[in-house]
Amino acid sequence: MFLLENKIAVVTGGSSGIGLATAQRFVEEGAYVFIAGRRQAELDRAVAEIGKNVTGIKTDISQLDDLDRFYEAVAKKGKIDVIFAGAAFVEKQMTAMVTPEHFDKTFNANARGTYFTVQRALPYLNDGASIILVAAAGKNKGIPGRSTYSATKAAIRSFARTWTSELKERGIRTNVISPGAVETPMFDDQYPSEDGAAEARKQIIAMTPLARLAHPDEIACAALFLASDLSSYVAGIDLPVDGGLTAV
């Protein structure tokens, strides 16, 4: 028996990194997965890599019309059992250098986008569905250059608390995963050079008890737990998957 047999799942940010690994894991466990992403070429590659029981739909989660079109397409398949809201934008910027454009782009993609990803899905969710939000371990740390990004992830943690209360009559569970640093293209994209990314890896590894970055599939395994009935009595939590970074 597969953990997500005959389930319908939505994965935003599903064309690469953590989202792609999660979509793959969900399909392996019997789900039909709809992945949302902003770039068609990457979506096409992700669909080809997963190979079965998956549909990719070009979607910018900061645009409500895009979200509405996305869910209308999903609804043709059936009601949604799992949402993995993983789409995000990160751009390191010290507070003194933050522009309104940077601020708005970060909050629109992360806080606003995640919020409306869930809000727009509510009519399409099965009772008893699982909502999984992706925050970040760094929201609990004062990391220079992350003031806007970490604030959006703290907002996501707050959303989970409220939605756990608001959706309890429908038996819908909302939980958060807070990854530490993960070996994904997004990690390298934060730094202006390969040397900068290498130095950041070195510093993070030194701070992390497990002394390495995570693999995307390790985050996907945590998502599978929260998506499945294995976590049927788990609601409203913030699950760190960070190698011990924020625990010690």
Whole-angstrom distance, CA of residue 178 vs CA of residue 19: 14
Buried b / exposed e along 210-234 (16+ C-beta atoms within 10 A): eeebbebbbbbebbbbbbbeebeee
Interval 47-59 mean pLDDT: 97
**What confidence category does residue 195 fall into, taking pLDDT thresholds of 50, 70 and 90?**
confident
- What are residue 147's phi and psi, to 5 degrees? -60, -45
Place of tokens 């869930």: 118
SS3 content of the chain, % helix, strand, coil (to 5): 50, 20, 35
Residue 190, pLDDT > 90, answer: no
CB 59 within 8 A of CB 66: yes
- pLDDT, position 43: 97
Interval 123-134 mean pLDDT: 98
Tell me which fold the domain 8-184+215-239 belongs to.
Answer: Rossmann fold (3.40.50)
Q: Which of 32, 115, 124, 149 is catalytic?
A: 149
Beta strands of 28-124 (E only): which ranges? 32-37, 54-58, 80-85
Known catalytic residue at 32: no
Beta strands of the chain (E only): which ranges? 8-12, 32-37, 54-58, 80-85, 125-134, 173-179, 238-241
Ranges 80-89, 149-158, 170-179, 196-205: which has the least confidence: 196-205
N-term to C-term CA, the chain: 38
Residue 60, pLDDT > 80, answer: yes
CA 95 to chain centre: 25
